[in-house]
Structure 1
C-alpha cells in the first residue's frame, strides 16, 4: 500500500502554486503526495483546467498513478514513477497560462532520462501569471545560475478569453544543479522592453504604453529603449495589448515587469503600471524581482551546496514555496535581513539525476 505525504493545499498562498511545487518535487524526489483542501479559500475551490493540465503533464512525464485529478477536485493523490525524456503535450483549451505549465514541468524535464520537448497550448500573455516573454528572458537568466537552461519558441500568441497560444520548450537534462550565489547585482546596464498590440487594436496604443513606462523609469535610467509593434495576424489573430520590460545588470542578473491592457483602460496607465513595477524592483537593490523570487526556491532545494539569493520583501508565494519545499525535500531555508533587502539561504539536497545513463 502506497504511503503518501499529506500536504494541506489551503496553507499560506493556498492556491495553484502549492500544487505546482508539490507535484514537481514529488515527481523529482519520488515521494508520493496527497494534497487536500485544494484552493479551499478561492471563489471556485478545487482544480481548474490550468492546474489539471499541469498535473496531467507531469503525470505523463513520470508515468504517475493519480487519483482525483479532475475539474473541481479538492483532493488528489500523486504517486510518481521514473521521469522519461520525449515529447509531451499540454493544452488548457482556455487562456490558462502557458508560463504556469512551464513552471511545473521544467524542473521535471531537467532530471529526465533524456531530452524533453514540451508542446504547451493556452495563454501566452495572461493576467495573474508571468508572460512567456518574461520566462524566456528573465527567468531563463536566473536558471543559468543553477547550471541549467531551456529554449523557448513562441509559435502562436494566445490571449484572454480564447487562448489558443502555442509555445514549445526544448530541455536538456542535467546531472545536478549547482548552488547559486546571486547576491551581487552590480550596476544597471540597460533598460528595454516590448510594447505590443494585436488584432484590430491600433499601433498608437503600443506607443502610449511605452510613453507611460518611460515616464516612470526616467528617474532610474536615462536611455530606456522600448520596441513598439503590432503582432502579425497569423501569429496573433485575437485582440490584445501589453508591455514587457527588462532591466539588465552588470552581474548578469535580469529584472522584469509587465502589464496587459484591457477594455477601457488608459494605455499610458498600463505602461505606467509596468514601469513603476520595474522601477521599484531596481530601487529595491534586489537581484531577483518578485516574480522570480518564488520560482528559484525549488531549484535551491535541489541544488548541490549552499545557495544564497538577494531579494526584496519576501512574498507570500515565496513563503509558500519554502514551506512546501521544506516539507517534501526535508531541507531548511533561512531568511536573513540585509539592509533594505533579504538574503534567502539554503543548503540543498545535492540531488543527482539517476535517470540519466552513466557517462
Structure 2
C-alpha cells in the first residue's frame, strides 16, 4: 500500500484530521510525526483520539500510536463502511471536528450513514454546531452532498455533555463551485447563549454588539440553555446574504469581562463586513478539502490564514490538485483549486 510521510509540527489538529479524511477517501496510508509539536500540550488530546478512532472504525483501519499524548501516528485504511455510528469525546472535545473528519469518507460510501457524537458543541478553537449547520453545510449541499446536522443538546467548554446527530447520503460526484460574491447583506443578528450563568452577562455582551454593529433591539437575542450542563457562554453573530450565511462566534472566559468578549467578536465581524469576499477566514479553511475532492473550485476570502496554507500543502500530497491564492485587493484573496 502507498504510504505518505507527514510532519505535524507546524500545524494543530487540523492537519491530522485532514490526513485522516483523505486517507479514508483515497486509500493511501500515512505516518505523521511530531503531531502538534508546537502546542503547549503537544501530541494527541481526547478529541484528536476520538477523530482517529472514528476514522479507524469507519475505514476498518490498522492504527499505531492512538494514545493520549502520542506524537506519532501510523494509519493504514481499509474499505469505508456506511452505517450507524456513535462516538464520544468523553470530554468537552469538539463533536464538530470529529464529524468533519469522517463526513467526506461517508459521502463517498455506497449507502447512507447516520452519526451520533457526544462532547462539546460550542468550544473555542473549533467550529460550533451553528457554524456547521448554517454556514458550512449549505456549501457542501451546493456541491452535491446530501447531508444534515441537528444539535440535540448544547455542550460548552469545559463541561461538555452536548450531542449532535448527522446524516449523509452517497454523493456520486461533487460539483465544482465558484464562490466569489456573497451578495448584499440582508440581516445581522446576535445571540448570547448562557448555561448556568447570570443572564446579565449576556445582556452586557449584546449591549456592546448592538452599539458596535448598529443593531436594533429586535436583532439581539438572549438564550438560556435548559437544562444547563455546567457553566458556559457562547456569543454568536449571524450575517445573512443572498444564499449565504456567515457565522462568527466568541466564548466567555473566566476573568475576561463580557464587554471584552463582545468587542473582540465585533472587531472580527467588522473586518469581514469591510470586504466583499464570499468566505470568512474559518469557512475558507474548510472549503479547500471538499473542493479538492470535487477536482476543483474557487472562492474569495477576506483573510488568508496559516491554517489554510498548511492544509493546502497537505491536501496536495494526497490528491492530484494544485491549490494557489492571490491577493486581489486589501480585503480580498482569491483561492483556486485545480486538478
TM-score (norm 1): 0.90
Aligned to 1:356: none
* 1:44 Cα deviation from its structure 2 partner: 2.3
Question: After superposition, where does 1:160-199 map in structure 2 within 5 Å?
Answer: 160-199=157-196
Q: Secondary structure at the match of 1:72?
A: coil
Aligned residues: 338
Unaligned runs of 5+ in 1: 349-359
CA distance in 2, matches of 1:224, 1:111: 43
CA distance in 2, matches of 1:177, 1:225: 36
Q: Mean Cα displacement is larger for which, 2-11 or 175-184?
A: 2-11
Matching residue of 2:337: 346
Which residue matches 2:266?
A: 275
In the other structure, the counterpart of 1:303 is 294
Shift of 1:61: 0.7
257-266 vs 289-298, which moves further: 257-266
* Equivalence for 1:5: 4
Q: Which moved more, 1:64-73 or 1:139-148?
A: 139-148
**Residue 296 of structure 1 aligns to a residue in which SS?**
helix
State the partner residue of 1:355: none
Q: 1:222 deviation in Å?
A: 6.8
Q: Aligned in 2, Cα 1:271/1:9: closer, same or farther, shift over 3 Å?
A: same
Aligned to 2:238, what secondary structure does the other structure show? strand
**Residue 140 (structure 1) shift:** 1.5
Please identify runs of 4+ aligned residues in structure 1 that moved more than 3 A: 221-224
Counterpart Cα distance in 1 of 2:208 and 2:249: 12
Q: Distance in 1 between matches of 2:199 and 2:36?
A: 39
- Name whichever of 266-275 and 24-33 sits farther off: 266-275
Offset, 1:181: 0.7
Which residue of 2 is the match for residue 230 of structure 1?
A: 224
d(CA) in 1 for partners of 2:311 and 2:284? 10
Equivalent runs, 1:1-359 vs 2, <5 Å: 2-11=1-10, 14-199=11-196, 201-218=197-214, 225-233=219-227, 236-250=228-242, 252-304=243-295, 306-340=296-330, 341-348=332-339
Q: Does the residue aligned with 2:127 lie in a helix, a strand or coil?
A: coil
Distance 1:331 1:204 in 2: 50
Separation in 2 of the partners of 1:193 and 1:166?
23
Give structure 2 stretches of 5+ with no counterpart.
none
- Give, in whole Å, the separation in 1 of the partners of 2:191 and 2:303: 27
Contact 2:191/2:236 (CA < 8 Å) preserved in 1?
Answer: yes
**Structural RMSD (CA):** 1.7
Contact 2:195 2:229 in 1 (8 A): yes
Change (3 A) 1:67 1:272: same
